[in-house]
Amino acid sequence: MSEAESNVWHGTTIIAVRKDGQVALAGDGQVSMGNTIVKSNAKKLRRLAGGTVIAGFAGATADAFALFDRLEGKMEQYPGQLTRACVELAKDWRTDRYLRKLEAIMAVADKSVSLIVSGTGDVLEPEDGIIGIGSGGNYALAAARALIDVPGLDAETIARKAIAIAGSICVFTNGKVTFESL
């Protein structure tokens, strides 16, 4: 993996949890440049498609905004078809000379599907409905998987607990968290 590719995965944590017809995304607020914290309250989640889709990103901020705009355009082309819109975005991302240089990864969800979208052309739907991306993504993913079958915990509660656990382990993840749910 090149240095540029490895940097895509560092500096943020996004968790998506799907349970009992609810989906929740949580993202920490820390922006880091190397070992320096530049900002602590960044918002890395966005509502798209009139609020019917929620998305979070890890990677370069400007690149993520460009990808959110592209995804919004694809969702206008394919209304109500999030998977199709994401596949079309991934195809463009992989083949377009400009887009190919964008360094980010996205977690995207609507009422029925949760997806990971990457610049390598991947559009992945995890079988358990849980996504973790970014430097603390694997910590949050492990925590969410451990909590998913606990009675009385809904998707948002699991996402909150999972990102708190990731923040206690990953130095690139802080406790200033934003949440979005459907």
Look up residue 89 and give its two tokens.
């975005």
What is the C-alpha separation between 38 and 40, in angstroms, rounded?
Answer: 7
Q: What is the pLDDT of residue 136?
A: 94
Q: What is the residue whose two structure tokens read 């009385």?
A: 152
Report pTM: 0.89
| Mean per-residue pLDDT of the chain | 89
Q: Which fold has domain 3-181?
A: Glutamine Phosphoribosylpyrophosphate, subunit 1, domain 1 (3.60.20)
**Sequence spans of domains, the chain:** 3-181
pLDDT at 60: 78
pLDDT value of residue 3: 47
Whether the pLDDT of residue 61 is over 90: the answer is no
- Using the predicted structure, report yes or no on whether residue 94 has a pLDDT greater than 50: yes
pLDDT band at 115 (very low <50, low <70, confident <90, very high): very high
How much of the chain exceeds pLDDT 90, in percent? 68
Active site residues: 12
Please tell me whether residue 149 adopts helix, strand or coil conformation. coil
Percent of the chain with pLDDT over 70: 92
Q: 150, exposed or middle or buried, with CB in 10 Å at 0-12, 13-18, 19+?
A: exposed
Confidence of residue 100 (pLDDT cuts 50, 70, 90): low
Residue 7 has pLDDT above 50, yes or no: no
- Backbone phi, then psi, for 169, in 5-degree steps? -110, -45
Q: Cβ contacts of residue 125 below 8 Å, gap of 6+?
A: 83, 113, 114, 115, 116
